[in-house]
Structure 1
Amino acid sequence: MLMPIQSPFEAMLLDDHAFILDGISMTLAAHSDIRVVGRFTTTQALFGALRDHVPDVVLMDYCLQPGEIDGLNLVRALRIRHPRARVLVISAQHTPATVGLALRCGAAGFIGKELDPVELPDALRKVASGEIYVHPSVASRLAEGHLELAESELSYPSSPFLKPGVTAATLTVREHEVLRCCLDGFSVTDIAAKFSRSVKTISAQKQSAFRKLGVRNNNELFKIRTHLDEWK
């Protein structure tokens, strides 16, 4: 549904490279109807700002530094915690599968970093007004049906170790992070150090994720690794 755009409308920017943030900010500064109210290099800083003020649009990089929330889970977290903010994803990687999953997870748009800078303001305007904006090189493939994704693609396929009805939204963002680290061979102590959390907290998040998925130990977790990898 199209919504009237406040003028100027507000945008927050997230990219782990300050140089990219500088370029985007300079591009948008020439447009009086777009006001950048925050620019951040970490998700922690972004969510901290969002506690005090929610903009019309969050323009977020899809691939951040190791240790940060991954693209799909970040989109989910933004939509759950701050549903008023529309999410526009920007990335150098924009395969049909990636774009399709991002849109399914709640993104309102997806653009490539090679996009002509003059097109960025228009993309933000469309997203702010309630439209869906997709990178031009992918839009034609979307129209041809190459991004037709069944709802089941956001659910875990059947497995003897998974509870029926488990979906992409079953786990919290933190639980996803812990499980991915477990699958990469990290111990609970390693994960606690990586994310600056207590061992007790990490252990609780791991056990909570196990209960939700219906797995009992690391061996069963590794048996469903191929299913979990589809969420990366």
Structure 2
Amino acid sequence: MTTQPPRTIRVVLADDQELVRHGFGALINAEDDLEVVGEAANGLEAIDQAFTSRPDVILMDIRMPMLDGIEATRRITADERLRPTKVLVLTTFDLDEYVYEALRAGASGFLLKDTAPARLLDAIRVVADGDALIAPGITRRLIAEFAARPDPARSDDLLGGLTDRERGVLVEIGRGLTNAEIAERLYISPLTAKTHVSRILTKLNARDRAQLVVIAYETGLVQPGR
């Protein structure tokens, strides 16, 4: 029986500083399962690279000339042809005022630029696999931002198609639980939890768990401390 070669995760680097791109590129290309397939110095180039290179993950800086990382992320995630491509946003400050908008725009994860190299490499793999990743220093502020802006009307429209069980699973996703933790909390099997998550993603037309967290807080389904 023949075995398939291990998957290589294709990465595009979008940052207006050449030195930053060079450093990240050297780090990524040193890994057997990662490969840099393109670079971009601004948001417009990032969009072009998304189409020409078809990467699994784009490391996206927020502040770039011509078109910033938020708008570039929004355009990339809104295009069905680029649905397999995930955006991992790198930001300099954990209180970056644009982080909230970037997550709403469709980013699958956030990391600070001073993150340890091993953590960055793991983050690329996590996001490429379809999971969400948010640096701990950013999470608390994001939750506060989303919780401060619930939209009950949007809740009725968006969540109306979910079953009671699916709503319960979405609550736990919003609280940051993994599938295994959800299964334990709700007394269901891990496979059943995974199935519920997949159905919720489909019904809400969400790209990944990061978007489900957004929906859980913006609709008021989940509130801090409850």
Structure-1 separation of matches of 2:54 and 2:97: 29
**Residues 1:63 and 2:76 aligned together:** no
Identify the residue that residue 75 of structure 2 maps to in structure 1. Answer: 77
| Match runs of 1:27-176 below 5 Å | 27-65=27-65, 68-81=66-79, 82-95=82-95, 98-139=98-139, 141=140, 145-149=143-147, 150=149
Shift of 1:47: 2.8
8 Å Cα contact 2:7-2:33 kept in structure 1: yes
Unaligned runs of 5+ residues in structure 2 are 1-5, 155-226
User: Which amino acid letter does the alignment assign opposite residue 63 of structure 1?
Assistant: R
**Which structure has the larger Rg?**
1
Aligned to 2:14: 14
Contact 2:12–2:49 at 8 Å: present in 1 too? Answer: no
Identity between Structure 1 and Structure 2 (%): 28
Distance 1:137 1:55, change over 3 A: same
Counterpart CA distance in 2 for 1:125 and 1:151 is 32
1:121, distance to aligned residue in structure 2 (A) = 0.5
Q: TM-score, normalised by structure 1?
A: 0.56
1:11 and 1:56 in contact (8 A); partners too: yes
AA aligned to 2:146 is: E
Q: Is the 8 A contact 1:75 1:107 kept in 2?
A: yes
The answer (yes or no) to whether the contact 2:62–2:98 under 8 Å persists in 1 is no
- The unaligned stretches of length 5 or more in structure 1 are 1-5, 156-232
Q: CA deviation at 1:142?
A: 5.8
2:92 and 2:112 in contact (8 A); partners too: yes
TM-score (norm 2): 0.57
Aligned residues: 144
Mark the CA change 1:18 to 1:48 in structure 2 (over 3 Å): closer, same or farther: same
Q: What is the deviation of 1:135?
A: 1.4
SS in structure 2 at match of 1:52: helix
